[in-house]
């Protein structure tokens, strides 16, 4: 059994883990307090590449939490950091929101606009501004040999009323048209953990992922060799955890409040 007392760095999923929709769980400040008191670090981790850390910063500040921009890490960050590791000066055709474009530019990534150019890769993000023109150009570049990368695999994004199509659904269209399956950067892939370690200098044996979803959060922790902590305040039930074979949490807590008592 892994030792929770040894964990210093906590990667926290947000929706279903520290809040639900717009309602902060009243035990969340207790966890953040406890992490700070033991000299640890909390990083909020999300697969949503349509927004930058700034949007989440405003949301959490609005909920009364003391957080700073460097506490947020998205699959957009994971993608940009990984591309910077792989290419001396990455050239990318980006299918993403204006916010993701700004993020990539801030990382010093060149965004290719000319459709006759062949970039190192075509990156597909959660593009709420997707157009047929972007789809056509992206497919053309992939067909001509640009590598196909997607920020994360989620099929749907939770939204009030009914969930909306996310990157996983868009991937199907690009793969259908080109025959190419993308490399995924976000949870549950280990790539996201490598990018986190690169940015924050965390050691895997001192790091845990805390989340409510087996297929992303817990599989991400298992794939990355970090401690996996499931909470029951979101999507997953204890029955599903008991029945799960390919995603195994090291610890299960009713909420992050119970977790706070054990670290």
Residue from the set 9, 10, 16, 81 that interacts with Mg ion by CB under 5 A: 16
> Which of 111/241 has CB closer to Mg ion?
241
> Which of 171/231 has CB closer to Mg ion?
231
Grouping H, G, I as helix, E, B as strand and the rest as coil, residue 62 is helix
- CA dist., res. 78 & res. 52, Å (int): 12
Binding mask of the shown chain, residues 170 to 209, with x at each position contacting Mg ion by CB under 5 A: ----------------------------------------
User: Which residue carries 């593009």 as its tokens?
Assistant: 127
**Least CB distance from residue 21 to Mg ion, whole Å?**
11
DSSP state of 8: -
Choices 19-27, 73-81, 83-91, 227-235 (CB under 5 A): range interacting with Mg ion: 227-235
**Least CB distance from residue 254 to Mg ion, whole Å?**
16
Q: Which of 150, 162, 159, 160 is nearest to 187 (CA)?
A: 150
DSSP state of 217: I
> Which of 100/218 has CB closer to Mg ion?
218
> Which of 77/120 has CB closer to Mg ion?
77
Our CA angle for 48, 226, 260, nearest 5°, is 80
Instruction: For the chain, state the CA radius of gyration.
Output: 18
**Least CB distance from residue 186 to Mg ion, whole Å?**
13
DSSP state of 246: S
Residue from the set 31, 208, 212, 218 that interacts with Mg ion by CB under 5 A: 212
Q: Which of 89, 114, 111, 93 is nearest to 102 (CA)?
A: 111
Q: Which of 98, 52, 85 is nearest to 71 (CA)?
A: 52
Residue from the set 15, 71, 120, 189 that interacts with Mg ion by CB under 5 A: 15
**Least CB distance from residue 76 to Mg ion, whole Å?**
17
Structure tokens at 29: 């400040």
- CA dist., res. 101 & res. 84, Å (int): 15
CB atoms within 10 A of CB 26: 9
> Which of 149/230 has CB closer to Mg ion?
230
Q: Is 71 in the site for Mg ion (CB under 5 A)?
A: no
**Least CB distance from residue 98 to Mg ion, whole Å?**
25
Choices 3-11, 44-52, 189-197, 233-241 (CB under 5 A): range interacting with Mg ion: 233-241
Residue from the set 13, 71, 120, 154 that interacts with Mg ion by CB under 5 A: 13
> Which of 138/211 has CB closer to Mg ion?
211
Within 13 Å of residue 13, how many CA atoms lie on the same side as its CB? 32
Q: Which residues bind Mg ion (CB under 5 A)?
A: 13, 15-16, 212, 234
């Amino acid at each position: 059994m892994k030792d929770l007392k040894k964990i210093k760095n906590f990667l926290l999923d947000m929706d279903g883990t520290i809040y639900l929709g717009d309602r902060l769980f009243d035990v969340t400040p207790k966890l953040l307090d406890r992490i700070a008191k033991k000299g640890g670090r909390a990083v909020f981790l999300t697969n949503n590449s349509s927004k930058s850390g700034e949007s989440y910063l405003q949301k959490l500040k609005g909920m009364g939490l003391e957080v700073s921009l460097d506490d947020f890490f998205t699959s957009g960050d994971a993608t940009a950091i990984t591309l910077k590791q792989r290419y001396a000066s990455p050239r990318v055709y980006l299918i993403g929101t204006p916010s993701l474009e700004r993020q990539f530019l801030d990382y010093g990534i060149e965004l290719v606009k000319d459709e006759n150019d062949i970039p190192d890769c075509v990156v597909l993000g959660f593009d709420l501004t997707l157009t047929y023109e972007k789809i056509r150009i992206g497919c053309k570049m992939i067909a001509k040999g640009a590598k196909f990368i997607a920020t994360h695999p989620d099929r749907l994004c939770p939204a009030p009323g009914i969930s909306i199509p996310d990157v996983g659904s868009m991937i199907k269209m690009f793969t259908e048209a080109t025959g190419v399956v993308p490399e995924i950067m976000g949870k549950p892939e280990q790539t996201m953990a490598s990018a986190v370690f690169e940015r924050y200098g965390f050691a895997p044996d001192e790091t845990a992922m805390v989340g409510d979803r087996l297929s992303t959060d817990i599989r991400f922790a298992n794939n990355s060799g970090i401690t996996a902590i499931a909470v029951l305040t979101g999507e997953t039930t204890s029955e599903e955890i008991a029945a799960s074979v390919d995603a195994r949490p090291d610890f299960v807590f009713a909420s992050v409040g119970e977790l706070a008592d054990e670290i």
